[in-house]
Amino acid sequence: MLRHCLAGGLICAAAFGLPSVSFANEVCGTRDRIVATLAGSYGEVRSGLGVQGQRSVIELWTSEETGSWTILMTWPDGMSCVLASGNYWEANRPRGAVPSSDPV
């Protein structure tokens, strides 16, 4: 688990503007705290999720406005780590799908 946090920390510390000192503690924390930051500071909403094995949930958080995105892993104890984050997110629509804002 810590290995994932450290790898995520290397990738994400700059994106979240976190200081480099003890970065593993800064990109891992309670899910509530991290989600509040993703929503409040980055305008991200959960775009999808999946269960990894029987031990964790992987969530994708994105912002259509800013193009930012974050991959979050959460364990049953409520602890979460940011695995990756970035910019220029672009959602793909399934073939033949009509955007909800288009008149039918």
Within-domain flag for 93: no
User: What is the number of residues in the chain?
Assistant: 104
Within-domain flag for 59: yes
Within-domain flag for 51: yes
- Give just the sign of the alpha carbon dihedral 22, 37, 90, 93: positive
Within-domain flag for 66: yes
For the full predicted model, state whether its pTM sits above 0.75. Answer: no
* Residue 96 token pair: 């033949």
* Tally of structural domains, the chain: 1
Side chain identity at residue 93, one-letter code: R
Q: What pLDDT digit, counting tens, does each position of 64-99 carry?
A: 999 999 999 999 999 999 999 999 998 887 776 665
Residue 16: its pLDDT value, please?
47
The CA-based angle 31-14-39, given to 5 degrees, is 35
Within-domain flag for 94: no
Q: What pLDDT digit, counting tens, does each position of 40-65 carry?
A: 999 999 999 999 988 999 999 999 99
Q: What pLDDT digit, counting tens, does each position of 9-33 carry?
A: 444 444 444 333 333 445 899 999 9
Q: Which domain holds residue 73?
A: 2-86
